[in-house]
Structure 1
Amino acid sequence: MAGFKRKVFYVGGFDPRGVRFYHALAVEQIARFAALTGRPAAVSTRRTISDHRTDWSIEDSSVGTTTDYSFLRWDDLVRDAWIRNPFTLAVRAWRAYSANLRHLDFATGKRLGKGPLVTLFYPPVLTLAFPILLALVIFAIAAIWLPATIALIVGLLLGIAIASPLLTRWHAPWLLRFFVFNSEFVSEVAQPRLEARLDAFADEIIASFAEDWDEILLLTHSNGSILAVPLMNRLLDRCADTLPPNFALVTMGHCIPLVACRRDATRFHDQLRRLANVDLRWVDIGSPPDGAAYFGVDPMAIVAPHTRPRLDLLSPRFHLFYDPATYHSGYANKYEIHFDYLRMGDRVSPLDFPSLMTASRPIDASIAAFREIA
């Protein structure tokens, strides 16, 4: 049996959890896939290639597939950008949201999807309103027995104390940091460490173009899809705008309009226009219930009336592959829905993460198989 050799470069989202978490997730999901299918799919141990790259292999000997998986690390930059001081977070969030109110094209953003706009603005509203509401309730009760000043202090302290763990559970502080990072990504002229990291990523990917792979995928998730825009421009610089035919960009849960809908993101707009004018295979997988992603949105169309890339905008249709009891539905599961792209359901889908990594066929064939059953 002729083997199928796949190379995957993965760029994750704004997540301080590093390679250990994502390797463990891959091991868990490939094991689930093996248990459901009876195929001997497995994940190797991690191999540190450099300070910004860790590799592992995903193999399925039953179909002769080997996927060499390179986790391109920027989690150290996320941890450096992870604002820990609540006062500093409040100040920088205020600046970020002030900039969004000044520069965000709300008409375009609303047309592309209301869900991400709600996700954009609920963290500051919730972070302010929920502690205040709790404080007022506690104050009203405490004022029955205590002087008003003391009751107010008790209300404020208890309101903050009760609200803080709940806000963390609802991921409001995480989202605030995420939006601060991307607002500063738009407005800052340069972030030298991030720029250097993207240069290094591009060098790693370009080196694979000269190697013997049946398929090369740049796979991004969430905020990694925003970084994919300047990263793809670097690849085009290095290969004179001609990508190899076995290369494809795969975005999962992309949130590119979060930056592209900012009127002041002129550099990012130019990068998107360049992508719109090259022959590029781009597959986007986005779930409609994912409030942090733009389902079915061509981000290049925001700035370019005509786009050349062969773009597929696909819903993974998770509801078809999960049992009702385990399907991540409803508001309480919005965070989990955003990570379902890296998991598999209770039944095998040609587009779930383990299936894409173990398939003995290119991604276009997996998409064709998905459309036949979904």
Structure 2
Amino acid sequence: MSASSTSVRRRKVFYIPGYDPFPPRRYRELYRTEGAAQAGISDYGLHVEAGGQDGRFGWHASGLIDDTRVTADFEVLLWSDIVRDSMSNSIPATYWQLLRTSWTYIASGTLRRLAVLPKGPLIAALFPIGVLLLQFIVALLAAHLVGWALSSVLRALALWAIGDGAVARWGAALVYWGPFFVIAVLVLRWFKANDNRIFAYYLMHDFAFSAAHNGATPPELQTRMDSFRDIIAAALQDDYDEVLVVGHSSGAHLAVSILADLLRAMPDLPARPALSFLSLGQVIPMVSFLPDAHKLRADLQFLSERDEIVWIDVTAPGDGCSFALCDPVGVSGVATRDKQWPLVFSAQFSRTLSPERWQELRRKFFRLHFQYLCAFDQPHDYDYFQITAGPLTLGQRYAGRPPSKSRIDVAVSKYTSVTP
């Protein structure tokens, strides 16, 4: 096993974000502010400062936990430019994405299988479809009402001035249809401009990106993932005690494929540094259940069997944007007798957050999806900052820890093939 009996003094952490167009400094600031809060609650030391080299973004953390000084070098593996490019669609293109993505999930039977799992991610997937359709209807109604009002006024004036006739009817029709399309477009543009409060366009682009290739990895993303693999492989040759890969949300299934390819390419991986993988708030079934996700399913199966890695999967029923307590290998139908990973357990938001804090956050769905990276005011055995800046490897920290009893590990996916 890659979890050694000695403590960690120097760690490399690679963070792979989900489908996120924002600049990477937000992750450093989140770590800095939330880490300080957690250190104050749990009474340990944590210092964070800017870092990064060779044009890559990262930061340095120094923890004093259990009387042990640990340094951690963080690096964000960026694909936000790919995300931004995929979100640069026009309004008509977004509605075309809606139709195409809906058809992909419905016609393949994937939507029906996903409905068996916790409903949060399915609701999150249906939310942008429902909202965008509602916005389209509202735009049409607004255009109709304006056009009807203008044409009615013109028709009344025409009746008073020249009486009823073809000129009056044609004029009323022109006044109706002339502004109709202008009003509809303006309303739709207004909705899109205010999507930072609704997130309908954002979520639509997210699910459309996953479904665009029926579960296969887009070529430009695969190229980036190959680059990430090389960066992680280089760290494994350095003087670290642990190399920890953290994949959050959509970043979890990217991490699965990156690490599977890395282990295939490095069959004689040294025992040190320990190689660890922490998946947080994963949405893997949204991709692995699709017909052409052969590669991802093969990577899930391969990674679940390896002795060279420790894989811990943390979700929470309170996070409506993740497949809470779903074993991604098991539900994807690719578990074998040799399966060892992941260890699946809950971050238990309703218990690890105080009642007041839980009431404050429980309806802030997007904020809760990032809670794994934040402070808990009643922490149990999950503490992101002790995991990343503490003296224990991931394997040591959770050695002997049983999985959550309510985890779901039965095969659900219709598509289970690992080869095309």
The separation in 1 between residues aligned to 2:238 and 2:189, in whole angstroms, is 56
Question: Judging changes above 3 Å, is the alpha-carbon distance between structure 1 residues 268 and 134 closer, same or farther for their aligned structure 2 residues?
Answer: same
For 2:73, the equivalent position in structure 1 comes to 68
Q: Pick the structure with greater CA Rg.
A: 2
The separation in 2 between residues aligned to 1:154 and 1:146, in whole angstroms, is 15
The separation in 2 between residues aligned to 1:152 and 1:166, in whole angstroms, is 22
Contact 1:6 1:213 in 2 (8 A): yes
Aligned-partner SS, 1:45: strand
The separation in 2 between residues aligned to 1:24 and 1:136, in whole angstroms, is 44
For 1:235, the equivalent position in structure 2 comes to 262
The separation in 2 between residues aligned to 1:24 and 1:124, in whole angstroms, is 33
CA shift, 1:282, in A, is: 1.2
CA shift, 1:256, in A, is: 0.6
Q: Which residue of the other structure, out of 55, 58, 61, is the alignment partner of 1:55? A: 58
- Per-residue CA deviation, residues 168-194 of structure 1 (Å, 9 max, x unaligned), is 312111101101111124466751x32
Q: Which residue of the other structure, out of 280, 294, 298, is the alignment partner of 1:252? A: 280
TM-score of the pair, normalised by structure 1? 0.85
- Per-residue CA deviation, residues 34-60 of structure 1 (Å, 9 max, x unaligned), is 33344331111122334xx32321102
**1:128 and 2:133 are equivalent in the alignment:** yes
Unaligned 5+ segments in structure 2 are 1-6, 154-175, 403-420
- Per-residue CA deviation, residues 66-110 of structure 1 (Å, 9 max, x unaligned), is 112121111122222222422222223322222222224334322
For 2:384, the equivalent position in structure 1 comes to 353
- Per-residue CA deviation, residues 251-270 of structure 1 (Å, 9 max, x unaligned), is 00001100111123223223
The separation in 1 between residues aligned to 2:243 and 2:29, in whole angstroms, is 23
Amino acid paired to 1:257 = P
The separation in 2 between residues aligned to 1:352 and 1:310, in whole angstroms, is 20
Contact 1:272 1:303 in 2 (8 A): no
The separation in 1 between residues aligned to 2:193 and 2:357, in whole angstroms, is 25
Contact 1:66 1:358 in 2 (8 A): yes
Bigger drift between 59-68 and 156-165 goes to: 156-165
Contact 2:310 2:394 in 1 (8 A): no
CA shift, 1:144, in A, is: 8.0
**1:176 and 2:207 are equivalent in the alignment:** no
CA shift, 1:6, in A, is: 1.9
For 1:286, the equivalent position in structure 2 comes to 315
**1:304 and 2:334 are equivalent in the alignment:** yes
The separation in 2 between residues aligned to 1:190 and 1:315, in whole angstroms, is 31
Question: Judging changes above 3 Å, is the alpha-carbon distance between structure 1 residues 117 and 3 closer, same or farther for their aligned structure 2 residues?
Answer: closer
CA shift, 1:130, in A, is: 4.1
For 1:266, the equivalent position in structure 2 comes to 294
Question: Judging changes above 3 Å, is the alpha-carbon distance between structure 1 residues 55 and 158 closer, same or farther for their aligned structure 2 residues?
Answer: closer
Aligned-partner SS, 2:319: coil
Bigger drift between 285-294 and 274-283 goes to: 274-283
State the number of aligned residues: 368
CA shift, 1:294, in A, is: 0.8
Question: Judging changes above 3 Å, is the alpha-carbon distance between structure 1 residues 238 and 3 closer, same or farther for their aligned structure 2 residues?
Answer: closer
Once superposed, what is the RMSD of the aligned Cα atoms? 3.2
Unaligned 5+ segments in structure 1 are none
The separation in 2 between residues aligned to 1:243 and 1:104, in whole angstroms, is 43
CA shift, 1:16, in A, is: 0.9
CA shift, 1:64, in A, is: 0.8
Q: Which residue of the other structure, out of 28, 35, 59, is the alignment partner of 1:30? A: 35
Bigger drift between 237-246 and 168-177 goes to: 237-246
Amino acid paired to 2:197 = R
The separation in 2 between residues aligned to 1:169 and 1:199, in whole angstroms, is 35
TM-score of the pair, normalised by structure 2? 0.77
For 1:89, the equivalent position in structure 2 comes to 94
- Per-residue CA deviation, residues 180-229 of structure 1 (Å, 9 max, x unaligned), is 111124466751x3222211211111222233333221110011012123
The separation in 1 between residues aligned to 2:359 and 2:147, in whole angstroms, is 39
Contact 2:281 2:314 in 1 (8 A): yes
**1:42 and 2:72 are equivalent in the alignment:** no
- Per-residue CA deviation, residues 271-300 of structure 1 (Å, 9 max, x unaligned), is 333224433421011011222211111222
Amino acid paired to 1:281 = V
The separation in 1 between residues aligned to 2:44 and 2:138, in whole angstroms, is 54
Contact 2:374 2:384 in 1 (8 A): yes
Aligned-partner SS, 1:6: strand
Q: Which residue of the other structure, out of 226, 231, 234, is the alignment partner of 1:207? A: 234
Aligned-partner SS, 1:147: helix
CA shift, 1:167, in A, is: 4.4
For 1:222, the equivalent position in structure 2 comes to 249
Question: Judging changes above 3 Å, is the alpha-carbon distance between structure 1 residues 97 and 243 closer, same or farther for their aligned structure 2 residues?
Answer: farther
The separation in 1 between residues aligned to 2:343 and 2:266, in whole angstroms, is 23
- Per-residue CA deviation, residues 310-345 of structure 1 (Å, 9 max, x unaligned), is 321111112223233332667741111111111112
Q: Percent identity?
A: 24
Contact 1:351 1:370 in 2 (8 A): no
Listed as ranges, the matches of 1:322-333 within 5 Å are 322-327=353-358, 332-333=363-364
Higher relative contact order (CA 8 A, sep 6+): 2
Question: Judging changes above 3 Å, is the alpha-carbon distance between structure 1 residues 141 and 210 closer, same or farther for their aligned structure 2 residues?
Answer: closer
Question: Judging changes above 3 Å, is the alpha-carbon distance between structure 1 residues 283 and 137 closer, same or farther for their aligned structure 2 residues?
Answer: same
Contact 1:5 1:215 in 2 (8 A): yes
Aligned-partner SS, 1:356: helix
The separation in 2 between residues aligned to 1:119 and 1:285, in whole angstroms, is 19
For 2:164, the equivalent position in structure 1 comes to none
